[in-house]
Structure 1
Amino acid sequence: MSAGPGRAGFRARLTAPLLLGSLLNPLNTTMISTALVAIGHTFGIGAADTAWLISVLYLASAVAQPVLGKLADALGPRRVFLAGLVVVFASGLVGAVAPSFGWLIVSRLLLGIGTSAAYPAAMSVLRDEGRRVGRPAPRPMLARLSFAALGSAAVGPTLGGLLVTLVGWRGIFAVNLPLALIAFVAALIWIPVDPPRESATTGGSLRLTLDPLGIGLFSTALTVLVFFLLDLAHPMWWLLAPFAVLTAALVWWQLRRPQPFIDLRMLADNGPLARTYLRHGVSYLLIYCVMYGYTQWLEEGRGFSAADTGLLMLPMSVAALVCSLLGARTKGIRGPLALASVLLTAGAGLLLFVGGSTPLAVLLLAGACFGIPQGLIGTSNQAAVQAHAPPDSIGSAAGLQRTAQYIGAIAASSLIALAYGSRAGDSGLHLMAGASAVLGVLLIILTVTDRALRARS
């Protein structure tokens, strides 16, 4: 089928709300990094407790991304996109007026669910548009979607520091109100009404598509794992038993389902896609260790203000933005990912020697070492998912990519909590950096030995 006159497709009006919606999740994952110390002081808690504000969003997102991706494939992406923005607006209200730390947890939980709708729904919208006009979404279009996510994540610490300085940490939550409202109105006007979905015609077929038991087992197992990881200083070993039972039950159930929540058979048969998820998760474990751990150390270990910390992270933000554009123009995948993994390892090694008397130039260089990989990894792994995922399941495949990213972030918050305890000091930073350097070497090996990447380099 070919596009007729006036149906060139992929116009700016279609993509504008998709870009705005897709930046909300990555923006909120990083923007809070420069507010954690201020929140801790307000409620009298330490770094190990404020780590829950990181983990609860990632826990919600890790479950919600593939769920909402499946909903977008089954019910239509426009419906899912709009519903997610309503939840984001509600989360902003709760966080802006939260009277206690517990309400901030609720706000971040809602935020994780609401913002998780945008990316997989956007990928489904672009797939539907491609079917309408008879050609796939052009790579520059996908690059802009990736750039919106990367750019918002990169500028998050700087924007967060500015908001904390000007209006206090509640501004981190309140800023979602106008952003969600603008995106909702734009989506309502410019995203076309969803075409009919065969799987949405009956309640039975919808239940078959969603696999509620699989979702429940996955979310419960992941929650148990998070409770274990967030207190590694005093590990509750008994939690590993229910985690193992839940994981075994999840695997057994997913292998029995004709349309499982996580298609384990597809992942087992699709090695390149499974390795993409693994590589993406490890990469973002390292990136988020810096995004949260390094920023907390700059404030508590070196005594910088939230605004100064945001400015110190600006080279990382700029490097990530520039490299995301360069990565979008690169046809290969293996080269950018190999460079990114080397720089992540080098940046972690540099942090091993950072301390109270380290010159400012070295602190800036350390941030930049993590900014360049952040720009390259997002666009390259997104291209890998596009290349290897089944075309009819791109929404859920994109959701699983983000799930891998958020599991990496949960592991990062656990490592930060273990390293810092109640306060971010030099010894904790060095412990985190040493673990990150070891994982960086693993990432290099995963990248250079992947034959599927060699075929596309």
Structure 2
Amino acid sequence: MNRVRNQWLMSAVGLGILLNPLSSSMISVAIARLQHVYELDFTKVSWIVFCFYLASAVAQPVMGKASDMFGRRKIFLTGLIVSFAASLLAPLSPNFGWLLVSRTVQSIGTSMMVAVGMAIVRIEVKEKQAAALSVLSMFMSGAAAIGPFVGGVMLQWGDWPAIFIVCLPFAAASFILSWRVLPKDAPATAAGTRSFRTWLEWMDAPGILMFTIGLISLLVGLLSAKTAGQFSWMSGSVCLLGIAALAVFVRRELRTASPFIPLRTFAQHPALTGVNVQYLLVNLLFYALFFGVPSYLQMVRHVSEFHTGLLMLAMGLSSLIASPIAGRWVDRAGPRPVLIVSAIMMTLGSVWLALLKESSPVISVCFALAAFGCSNGLNAVGLQSALFKSAPKSMIGVASGLFNTSRYVGTILSSLLTGLMMGGSFSFTGFRRLAMVLAVIGIAMVFMSLRHRDANLVQGSDA
């Protein structure tokens, strides 16, 4: 009976948490279509990517804390309602601005489920817990892997609104199952009875505000300067505002007792810092290609959305195949050789794309996509293992939070880099320039991986 209950609980949580990677990856094949529909340049339409990852970067740690106050069941069910409403309203957006609002709300809703889904399974599933958590990881990695293909099919079937509508049955099914199988939350703890002011301080609302203002200001300033072809006093002022806000953010995080991002941890644990920097660069490189290649195929090579999604399967399937291989390899040899091979494959994939010609067969892109997919599968396991080896046992939770933050910062920077390389329009020259920059980043990651020493990654034994 307990086994059957656990299976239903896993299904309820899995159907909910897959909405975040599915929603974020499907949009990669819809960027060209949205640019045409709303008559926008590439820089402006890129905000459909920015807003999702910005909201996720803020919402996931916030909702993780909020669940300690209000209960994980409440947060999970609320996330499903928010996600369902945003996915339903997005196709009705009268303009691109309202679509960005719906997309941001969708990101917050799906982040609520990701923030507490793993915790629910860790607490409620007592038997074969590691296997249960790996199943949830497969829900997320599988959704991200097939997202571009599903997006291409949806665009072929019902244009861009279909990539939001397809989320509705998943959210509805997860809500029905979750309502029946998720255990009721315990009575409110002392944290839940705090005053509103104390609650804001505990959540570090000022730090969240400065972090958000800083990132958005920098993005707006840099992208507007790139679009205009020069720095104006306006774009320069916005960039300075962003730098000032991030400086205030750093100063606050180093001093406050309950920081949004515990920056002191980086100074205290250099090995952990190295893992997070490498994870940031991995995501910068991977997502720059994850969103850049579909735009290249559609805008430069004039491949249909459906066939673009089909070609992108080379990346997703390669990642799924590489992940279990990486797990066995890490168990035998540690994370270092896995990370070295992964960095080399990312570098070779970037070089391959940089050497493409306008007349190169479209199918040749699959070689680079397969290399990036394999490297992504290797990194997912290798860097996770390096993280646990470099973090003291007493702060594994904090380390995991920092790890996720590094991922989102990397994805945000990937979109910024792509926007800066392209400017107003996606071109073959800009794509080649992007690939060259990514090849340099890949080489840097090779040297970072070579510096990994399993002997140094033993701080996890410290209490």
Q: What TM-score, normalized to structure 2?
A: 0.89
1:120-165 C-alpha deviation (Å, 9 max, x unpaired): 21232244337xx4x8942x33332222222111111111111001
Q: Give the CA deviation at 1:10.
A: 9.5
In structure 1, the partner of 2:77 is 82
Decide whether aligned partners of structure 1 residues 227 and 362 sit closer, same or farther in structure 2, where only a CA change above 3 A counts.
same
Mapped pair 1:171 → 2:159: no
* In structure 2, C-alpha distance between the alignment counterparts of 1:439 and 1:199, rounded to whole Å: 47
In structure 1, the partner of 2:51 is 56
* In structure 2, C-alpha distance between the alignment counterparts of 1:136 and 1:397, rounded to whole Å: 24
Native 8 Å contact 1:66 1:397 kept in 2: no
Q: Give the CA deviation at 1:207.
A: 3.6
Mapped pair 1:336 → 2:338: yes
1:306-343 C-alpha deviation (Å, 9 max, x unpaired): 11111111211110111223334442333322222111
1:76-115 correspondence runs (5 A): 76-115=71-110
Q: Give the CA deviation at 1:385.
A: 4.4
In structure 2, the partner of 1:224 is 217
- SS at 1:230 equivalent: helix
Native 8 Å contact 1:352 1:434 kept in 2: yes
1:181-330 correspondence runs (5 A): 181-195=172-186, 198-204=189-195, 206-231=199-224, 233=226, 234-235=230-231, 236-329=235-328, 330=330
* In structure 1, C-alpha distance between the alignment counterparts of 2:200 and 2:123, rounded to whole Å: 23
Decide whether aligned partners of structure 1 residues 105 and 119 sit closer, same or farther in structure 2, where only a CA change above 3 A counts.
same
* In structure 1, C-alpha distance between the alignment counterparts of 2:6 and 2:299, rounded to whole Å: 47
* In structure 1, C-alpha distance between the alignment counterparts of 2:175 and 2:393, rounded to whole Å: 27
Amino-acid identity (%): 33
* In structure 2, C-alpha distance between the alignment counterparts of 1:390 and 1:190, rounded to whole Å: 34
* In structure 1, C-alpha distance between the alignment counterparts of 2:304 and 2:404, rounded to whole Å: 31
* In structure 2, C-alpha distance between the alignment counterparts of 1:319 and 1:348, rounded to whole Å: 16
Native 8 Å contact 1:123 1:398 kept in 2: no
1:405-424 correspondence runs (5 A): 405-424=407-426
User: In the alignment, residue 151 of structure 1 is paired with which amino acid?
Assistant: G
Q: Give the CA deviation at 1:277.
A: 2.3
Q: Give the CA deviation at 1:108.
A: 1.1
In structure 2, the partner of 1:146 is 137
Decide whether aligned partners of structure 1 residues 369 and 100 sit closer, same or farther in structure 2, where only a CA change above 3 A counts.
same
In structure 1, the partner of 2:19 is 24
Native 8 Å contact 2:122 2:133 kept in 1: no
In structure 1, the partner of 2:450 is 448
Native 8 Å contact 1:88 1:114 kept in 2: yes
Match of 1:351 among 350, 353, 357: 353
Mapped pair 1:33 → 2:28: yes
Native 8 Å contact 1:230 1:418 kept in 2: yes
Decide whether aligned partners of structure 1 residues 242 and 73 sit closer, same or farther in structure 2, where only a CA change above 3 A counts.
same
Match of 1:378 among 363, 377, 380: 380
In structure 1, the partner of 2:461 is none
Aligned length: 447
Decide whether aligned partners of structure 1 residues 175 and 122 sit closer, same or farther in structure 2, where only a CA change above 3 A counts.
same
Native 8 Å contact 1:346 1:437 kept in 2: yes
Decide whether aligned partners of structure 1 residues 171 and 7 sit closer, same or farther in structure 2, where only a CA change above 3 A counts.
closer
- SS at 2:449 equivalent: helix
* In structure 2, C-alpha distance between the alignment counterparts of 1:237 and 1:104, rounded to whole Å: 28
Native 8 Å contact 1:230 1:417 kept in 2: yes
User: In the alignment, residue 287 of structure 1 is paired with which amino acid?
Assistant: F
* In structure 2, C-alpha distance between the alignment counterparts of 1:178 and 1:396, rounded to whole Å: 34
* In structure 1, C-alpha distance between the alignment counterparts of 2:176 and 2:350, rounded to whole Å: 43
Q: Give the CA deviation at 1:361.
A: 4.0
Moved more, 269-278 or 212-221: 269-278
Native 8 Å contact 2:222 2:239 kept in 1: no
Moved more, 10-19 or 421-430: 10-19
Which structure carries more relative contact order (alpha carbon 8 Å, separation 6+)? 1
Q: Give the CA deviation at 1:439.
A: 1.0
Q: Give the CA deviation at 1:433.
A: 0.2
In structure 2, the partner of 1:43 is 38
Native 8 Å contact 2:118 2:136 kept in 1: no
Decide whether aligned partners of structure 1 residues 10 and 226 sit closer, same or farther in structure 2, where only a CA change above 3 A counts.
farther
1:242-275 C-alpha deviation (Å, 9 max, x unpaired): 2232222222222332222111223322333333
Q: Give the CA deviation at 1:110.
A: 0.7
1:11-41 C-alpha deviation (Å, 9 max, x unpaired): 3223222222222111111111111111111
Q: Give the CA deviation at 1:409.
A: 1.6
Native 8 Å contact 1:10 1:126 kept in 2: no
